Chains A and B, each alone.
Chain A
């Protein structure tokens, strides 16, 4: 039973990070129907920027949490600027092009960012210093680290503010209108280009937060670290119904739980034949199963094919 609760905690933490990244995918998809393949790489850039700031300021004698906050702000600023530029250079010119064209530039962008990160930060993986107390908190059996608490807390705050932003503010209304129909939104005085830029900036900020959390939780950063979270978060977004914000959160948490429980129980249940390395298969098998039963994802609406 203890393993169970421990895996639930691990799954929630993992799921929270997936959810942060998945929101970026889903917001972009909801507005311009593009799978932003470079999103995982934005997370990677965020983590590496944070690492650079932390190592630069390491000698200044600041407490760990403030160091982390400063590096987080830097990461958010850099990622927001980066994603804004990417959209402007690689996606905006192709807005009315055939559907696959922006997808290919997105894949190219992903490869480009990986390569540039490899050139700037060297290809070797780097240790991310422990900034928060390492003493785990005992919950009467299962334990949770301070970093994991922080991840859950930050995710909750970010999700709440995002929901407020999208549902209650003027920008949020403009975003929803653009997602519904850009042309009509423009007639109502919304500037679609600005809304799309704002979406990319918000998505990048979320990815940067997730990147720093990921680095703090796993303790290493490198130019390839964006691949797996990106892939999983994309899966999570589709699982929940791509384009649907609540769906991304549900999908992310579900995927995290499935993976953690799969990793914890797969070995013992199958008598050691299938080890925890098959947890990845679990995630994708869950995706295929859900999509077979509900072709638009868990919370996705049944939309008619566009002509």
Chain B
């Protein structure tokens, strides 16, 4: 037990110190780490739907997009520049505080999740997959085309000059100095995302062992049996969809604040596939596994993008960094699954006898 605490404290310190060390090698590295944390959050959210409840969702990125666009619209000059009546109402542009946007983004995403879930929950696994995939595409088409007749999303050009995150009068967009030591904005975001990831892990952990989590897993293992045990499978599935979508919406809002720019390109089907791959590669339904999968798929190829510069010259431009990254992700998805079909760090095998009840 004591060992565990020491390991815990050490890893916490390492996670806190990591960006401070990394920023000496360039801001790019810290950025990669912050984005990896964002992916961890997304993967944890999808894990609720895919890992716990066993519902294959291939359109998860739609909720991420909803959150991001919600933040972008409510915290950028976009609406005021396009609608004169709006500009009259908010002459300085709309700068909604974070405390309003994030719950709104989460709520919108959750609502979308439940609305999508309602008609499709009757469907069996693979039918559900294609419908969610279609939903993701629908959202993307809307993002791409909703500049006419009213310019809501600015089409493929996306929305820019989005406010950075700020809470309690403290802005994450500017570097701060503590006793002559400069901490850049990217590092601040890293800490923000780290805190959110920790919060997500705590929420997921509690969900997993709660009545709800056990109901989800029962549905995953055998829906008919779960129903027979008195679980309201419809409500539980809707809850899983809504809960997963909430995570997506919050991550999306964070993404918009972090990037300062959103466009439909960031929310393609490939992104959905990548998040599903993170969950399955890491080990479905197992929090440490999912985190491992997310970090691996998000960060490793990015790191190689930096390392693989010379390769571009050697192969005469055919194998540049982004192609290499794709190649690696593809090979990782195939290789890891073939070597470990249950994921890198799977949950304990089900079906063993429950521990004897304490009397």
Chain A residues packing against B (C-beta within 8 Å): 29, 33, 35, 90, 93-94, 97-105, 107-109, 111-112, 114-116, 118-119, 122, 227, 231, 234-235, 238, 242, 272-273, 275, 277-278, 280-281, 283-285, 287-288, 291-292, 295-297, 303, 305, 307
Contact = CB atoms under 8 A, between A and B. Distances in A.
B231 to A, nearest CB: 15
B141 interface: yes
Contacts of B330: 108-109, 111-112, 115
Interface stretch (B99-107, B182-190, B318-326): B318-326
B120 A119 contact: no
Nearest to A35: B126
A305 B221 CA distance: 12
22 contacts: A29-B126, A35-B129, A90-B334, A94-B341, A97-B337, A99-B125, A101-B280, A104-B281, A105-B337, A111-B273, A112-B330, A114-B326, A115-B326, A119-B323, A238-B130, A284-B137, A288-B131, A291-B120, A295-B122, A296-B127, A305-B224, A307-B224
Contacts of B145: 275, 277-278
Contacts of A277: 141, 144-145
A273 B145 CA distance: 11
B338 A93 contact: yes
A161 to B, nearest CB: 28
A115 B273 CA distance: 15
A108 B278 CA distance: 12
B159 to A, nearest CB: 19
Contacts, number: 139
Interface residues of B, number: 50
A101 B341 contact: yes
Q: Is the interface of A mostly helix, strand, loop or mixed?
A: helix
Interface in B308-356: 318-319, 323, 326-327, 329-334, 337-338, 341-342
A249 to B, nearest CB: 18
B124 interface: yes
Given A111-B326, A112-B331, A275-B145, A104 B127 contact: no
B230 interface: no
Given A273-B149, A275-B145, A291-B131, A104 B120 contact: no
Contact of B138 (A102, A104, A281): A281
A48 B113 CA distance: 39
B178 to A, nearest CB: 44
A302 to B, nearest CB: 11
Nearest to A119: B318
B338 A94 contact: yes
Residue of B56, B133, B222 contacting most chain A CB atoms (<10 Å): B133
B124 A305 contact: yes
Interface in B246-292: 269-270, 273, 276-277, 280-281, 284
Nearest to A306: B124
A62 to B, nearest CB: 31
A104 B122 contact: no
B127 A238 contact: yes
A280 B141 contact: yes
Contact of B56 (A100, A116, A283): A100
B277 A108 contact: yes
Given A101-B280, A115-B330, A94 B337 contact: yes
Contacts of B276: 104, 107
B130 A235 contact: yes
- Residue in B134, B223, B269, B270 with the greatest tally of chain A CB atoms within 10 Å: B134
A116 B323 CA distance: 9
Interface string B131-154: 101110110011011001100000
Nearest to A297: B127
A144 to B, nearest CB: 29
B277 A104 contact: yes
B119 interface: yes
B134 A287 contact: yes
A119 B273 CA distance: 22
Contacts of A112: 327, 330-331, 334
B15 interface: no
B341 A285 contact: no
A98 B50 CA distance: 13
Contacts of B277: 104, 107-108
A210 B265 CA distance: 28
B123 interface: yes
A281 B50 CA distance: 25
A119 B124 contact: no
Give the top 8 A-B pairs by smallest Cβ distance, nearest first.
A108-B333, A97-B341, A284-B134, A112-B330, A111-B330, A108-B334, A101-B341, A292-B119
A285 B123 CA distance: 16
